[in-house]
Amino acid sequence: MKIEFWMLGETTKDFHKEGLDKFCDRIKKMIPFETRVIQTKKGFNKLPKQAWKKKEAQLVLDKLQASDHLIILDEKGTSYTSSNFAKHIDRLMNLNKDRIVFLVGGPWGFDESLYKRAQEKLAISAMTFSHQLIRVLFAEQVYRGLSILKGLPYHNE
């Protein structure tokens, strides 16, 4: 079982990248975990919003295997406390799936085809954060969740 975190487009090289790398490095020491940047094509940003989302979705769908458990990060998804998210990570790791894929979208959110493909929608917050900042938040919550499961002193109740 491996957890992968897929992101549409590069992480911009300011504080987002530093924050993301910091938490991902810690996670990688704890579980099989990989990040993957799905390069969006030049010219997508000249397309109308719906067409852009559709093109991005196709890039993701082409890389998914039928057996992948896909969780998209969406503010209308299920919200958890950090403790409950930790329990959910534990459940996911025991699903008997080869690969759990968490996906953060581009600036316009997800095309309908990805909503249909996804097994779950996860809300980091009811608030919308930039698709860059949400990467840091997701990684921090996975690290926090694993720390809770392992009884490490990162999370204070």
Nearer to a copy of itself, 62 or 157 (CB): 157
Q: Which is nearer to a copy of itself, 66 or 127 (CB)?
A: 127
At its nearest, how many Å lie between a copy of itself and the CB of residue 58?
Answer: 20
Would you tell me how many other CB atoms lie within 10 Å of the CB of residue 124?
20
Nearest to 22 by CA among 157, 104, 137: 137
Please state the closest distance from residue 153 (CB atom) to a copy of itself, in A.
Answer: 11
Minimum CB–partner distance for residue 141 and a copy of itself (Å): 6
The smaller minimum CB distance to a copy of itself, of residues 70 and 86, is found at 86
- Residue ranges that bind a copy of itself, judged by CB under 8 A: 14-16, 18-19, 22, 75, 79-82, 85, 107-109, 124-130, 133, 136-137, 140-141, 144, 155-156
